Structure formats: C-alpha cells, structure tokens
Chain A
C-alpha cells in the first residue's frame, strides 16, 4: 500500500466516524424515534379508513369525477398527517443539538463543521428514506385493498410506480428541507413554529384562495406532492416540475443551514 492510498483510506474512515456518530445519536434517542412511528401509524391508519371511504365514494361519482379518478393520490391522503411526524423528526434531529448544548460536544468531536453537518443530514435523511418507503408502500397497499379490486391501482399500472416512489422521495426531501430550516433557525420550537403553519395551514389556505393559487402551487409541499398524482391537475404544477421546485426549496434550506453553521459561533 502506498502512503497516498493509506492516507486516503484513513480519511474515509475518519469521515465514516462522523456518520457513525450521527447515526448513534439518532438511534439512542427514543423520543425522536417515536415521531417516526407516529408518522407510520397515522399514515397507514388513515389510508385504511380512506380506502373504505373511497370505495363507496366511487359509486356516487358522476362521469367527470370518474374520469379524474386517482386511487393512488387519494389513497395516500393520510401522508398529509404522517408528514407531521416526519417533519417533527427532522426538526428534532437538528434542533435538539442547540436546545441541549450537544452542539458543543458535537463540534469539539468533529470540528469540521461541513463534515458534521453533512453527516447529520445524511444520517437523518437515510433513516427518513427508509421510513418513507415503508410508510408509503404500507399506506398504498392498505388503501388499495380498501378500495377493492375493481377500481384500485396496482403497482404495474402506468404511473403508479412513479407516484409511489415519488411519494418516498417527496417525504425524504421534506425531512431534508426541515433539517435545513432547523439548522438555520437553531431551535426546535422555532422551527416547528415556522414549518407546521407553512405545511399544514398556509398551503391549505392559500390554495383555496383563487388569487394566490398561482403562488401557492410553488410552496414546497404543494409542489412536491404533485409527483404522487396519476392524473395531473390543471392549476397545480406537473409531477416532475413540482418535484424540481421541491428540490430547489430543499437545496436552499440546506445551504442556508450550512451558511449559518459556518458563520455563527456556538
């Protein structure tokens, strides 16, 4: 082994240490993990109820309603509530550092702030991705079972794989976005105070006011959620267009958090 590869390998392992530490942090904090369990239970529970409701609803629909019938998006409606748990998880992973003073220990252990930030976001994102996949597919299958074989969607149908995988990506981006916001605001309570109204009040309100609809469709959750639709909506962004808008929001939040971490004192 040459000196160069030896050094490089050691460098990689050192960075691996920072990631292992962040993963250990998440894993050893039960209060944080509860938020993810809550997300799963809420989403799948609501999907089960929705499935049955949707089966009856289809029968009452007129031709126009049936032409825009979207069993995937409707079935995954519970994700709106599950998001709450995912956002709370993301905010706690980052925000708890500041509220407890752990950030001082973190940065004395890993003084390269970029490495620390990347490791923390990567650990949080990987876990949220796993939870997103499990939650999305559990909700999908439960809701489709409720809708029944006549009108439901199966994974092989056109667009269904894109919509469901898209839902996983959307949820993961939502977590990453929230972690970036928490890193900018350096506080769990402040971050939740901003994100919860943004996701669960602002976008609901704005999308129902016709004049600001055009603005509201660019909000991160409104934009990102379109990837889950089989049938695109006229006054919303398209599936991929929306996802890219969500990616842009996420990049901005993560970059903002990085700048704050680099510049501010601890």
Chain B
C-alpha cells in the first residue's frame, strides 16, 4: 500500500464543481433548468441570482441532499455521495450552521470531526479561526444569527477542504463579520482552493468574486469573469451640470440620447461617453460646468440582466400567479432568519 493512492493534501490543489444539464422540477415548477457550468480552483466564483432563482436548490444537489430530476452535479469528478470522508474534500455552508440549539458549539464540531476522522485538535483551531473560542462551551440557541453563521463556517473549514460551497455566507453578519468572510474567501482562493459562494447581492459579489455565474429562474444567464461582466452589462452615463438645463436636455434628446434629471438638478445622459456629450454641448453653444462619466453600478447591471427573471417583485409588474411563491427549499433568506429566531 504505497502512499501514492492517497490524494495529495488539500492546499495548492483545488477541485472542480461540474454541473451538466442539471435540472430540478418540483411538480410543475422548474427550479433549476438545464444548468451547466464549471467552477474552477484558485478564484472566488460568485453564484448570483435573485431570490428563488434556484441557487440553494443547485447547491443542495451538488451536495447530494437533493436529487436532480435529470443531469448531474459532480464534485472532484464524482457525485458527492461517492466521496470518501467528504468533509476533508468539500466544505459546505447551507442556511446557517445546522447545529442543534442545545448542543454546545464545540460538541457540534466534535461530532462532525469524528464522522470523518478529523483530529479533535482541529475543532479548537477552527473555533479560533472564526472567532468563537470564547463561546465554545455555549449552546447555539443563545447565538446571534451572525454567531450561528460563524459556527457554520467553522464546520465548513473543519476538514481543511480544497473546495468550499457557501450559501449566502454574509447573511446576518455585521459589517466586521462581512469584511472577515470576504477576506477569508479571498485567502482561501489564493491558496488555490475552489470557492463557490452564492448571493443575491451584486454589490457583495463585486467586492469578493473573481468570476461570476448568474442564474435567473433556474437558467444560466452569464458565466463570465467579473471584469467582463461589468464591461458587458454596465452602461455608462454622463453627468452634465449646466446653467441651461432645458436647452441642454433638448440638444441631447435631439442627438438621440435618453436624458434624465438627477437629484441635484443635474442631467444624466444614458449610454454615452463624455466626449460625445461635450461635442453636442459645443455645437449647441451651451455653457457646461461639469461633465463627468458615471459608471453604472453593478447592481444596475445585475438587475438589467435578471430583470425579467425576478420571481416576486414588490410592486410594478406582477408576475404570473403560477410562479409567485416557490414552495421549494429556495426561500428568501428573510424567511430563514425568522425561522431560526423562533427556534
């Protein structure tokens, strides 16, 4: 029995998550629709979509908790259920910590460690990593949502896995916690690990992810490097401050631009560049006090992309009744929060 048979240690060797034509139906509703993409090591991949887009359903299938209607989800090249000592190969955070409210934090990690023959010294280590060493002997029922989230992350890190799947990890974390998890994910990716992190907040992903996978209503909308996504989907706007706003608006509209009025009375021309607006102003002989380019926010780019795929909107367009409330497990994080609070 040579040492060759055993896979090399986690570090410097990520793993791959591979979804092939993954589809999940709940009765009539299609939660995940022919989804194919690959998550590569060494970078943080943001898994983005509005609430109810199918992110959690997809991650649950990758972990073997949910069964695909068709297609496959492979981690390290095989179905999750076939992994040997999976906690050493995949770290997962799903909807918080999944810890029993009356089992001490340390004990929760201890039984997990036992299940995959991870040395018990590692329990203390991960508790330190997530900043929970002071409450190691406390019961999670007294934890805040953020502390529970940290306990869940500690569980994910327990086996020092080369691949991490984190479902909405910033949920319930305070600003300091958010910064911490952001840096943690970047560090893990920098060590060569594979990190897939889901979120419904584009702004959060913009600060963390190197690569983006965007889904809406279970379908793949984009699979692209972060920078390309920004370039492709953001429309730049030009801000114009002028003493003659009415004339300026007229001139810009005549030039074929869409113009709106900003909060402070300035004008904003959509989808154009500073140089073009400058020329229009010059030709019309209008005095200009300020001319600046405003990159569209990523949030706007995201909404532009997923706009028609949003499942439940506050007001305005009302979606079809049939797709209003998904009965599946892919719930709004706000719902989850309430549930956990009641426990």
**Chain A residues in contact with chain B, CB under 8 A?**
1-3, 6-7, 13-14, 17-18, 20-22, 24-25, 28-31, 96, 100-112, 265-266
Tell whether, in the assembled complex, residue B114 and residue A266 are in contact, meaning their CB atoms are under 8 Å apart: no
Complex formed: what's the CA distance from A107 to B117 in Å? Answer: 15
Q: When the two chains form their complex, are residues A102 and B98 in contact, meaning their CB atoms are under 8 A apart?
A: yes
Task: State whether A112 touches B1 (Cβ < 8 A).
Answer: no
- Whether A28 touches B115, Cβ cut-off 8 Å, given contacts A14-B85, A265-B67, is no
Interface stretch of the complex, out of B100-108, B128-136, B194-202:
B100-108
B80 in contact (CB, < 8 A):
yes
B44 within 8 Å of A (CB atoms):
no
B110 an interface residue at 8 Å Cβ cutoff?
yes
Whole-angstrom CA separation of A28 from B102 in the bound complex: 9
Q: CB within 8 A of B100: which of A2, A29, A110?
A: A29
- Residue numbers in A under 8 Å from B97 (CB-CB): 105
CB distance from B186 to the nearest CB of A (A): 24
Query: Contacts of A111 on B, CB cut-off 8 Å?
Result: 63-64, 80-81, 83, 86
**Distance, CA A6 to CA B2, complexed state (A):** 10
Q: Is the CB of A110 within 8 A of B115?
A: yes
Minimum distance in angstroms from A28 CB to a CB of chain B? 4
Against A, the Cβ 8 Å flags (1 = close, 0 = not) of B57-78 are 0001001111100000000000
| Chain B residues in 8 Å Cβ range of A24 | 107, 110-111, 114
In the bound complex, do residue A13 and residue B117 qualify as a contact, i.e. CB atoms below 8 Å apart? yes
B contacts, CB < 8 Å to A: 1, 60, 63-67, 80-81, 83-87, 90, 92, 94-104, 107-108, 110-112, 114-117, 155, 343
CB distance from A54 to the nearest CB of B (A): 40
Please name 18 pairs of A and B residues whose Cβ atoms are closer than 8 Å in the assembled complex, sorted by A: A14-B117, A18-B115, A21-B114, A24-B107, A24-B110, A25-B103, A28-B103, A31-B102, A104-B95, A105-B97, A105-B99, A105-B155, A107-B65, A108-B63, A108-B80, A109-B87, A111-B80, A111-B83
Beta-carbon contact of A266 and B65 below 8 Å: yes
A30 neighbours in B (Cβ, 8 Å):
102
Closest to B64 in A: A111
Query: What residues of B have a CB within 8 angstroms of the CB of A18 in the complex?
Result: 115
Q: Is the CB of B86 within 8 A of A101?
A: no
Nearest A-chain residue to B5, judged by Cβ = A3
CB of A1, distance to nearest CB on chain B (Å):
6
* Number of inter-chain CB pairs below 8 Å: 94
A104 touches B98 (CB 8 A): yes
Given contacts A14-B84, A108-B65, contact A6 B1 (CB under 8 A): yes
Q: Could you say which residues of chain B place their CB within 8 Å of the CB of A29?
A: 100, 102-103
Indicate whether A266 sits within 8 Å of B115 (C-beta atoms), given known contacts A101-B98, A111-B81. Answer: no
Q: Which chain A residue shows the least CB distance to B328? A: A265
| In-complex Cβ contact of A17 among B60, B99, B114 (8 A) | B114
Q: Are A266 and B81 in contact (CB under 8 A)?
A: no
Are A104 and B102 interface neighbours, CB within 8 A?
no
Chain A residue nearest to B115 (CB atoms) is A21
Among A22, A101, A108, which residue has the most Cβ atoms of chain B within 10 A? Answer: A108
> Quick one: given A29-B103, A111-B81, A111-B83, are A105 and B95 in contact (CB under 8 Å)?
no
Q: Residues of B contacting A20 with CB < 8 Å?
A: 114-115
Residue of A nearest to B87 (CB): A109
Contact A1 B1 (CB under 8 A): yes
Beta-carbon contact of A101 and B96 below 8 Å: yes
Is the Cβ of B111 less than 8 Å from the Cβ of A21? Answer: yes
Residues of A within 8 A of B117 (CB): 13-14, 17
What residues on A are CB-neighbors of B102 within 8 Å? Answer: 29-31
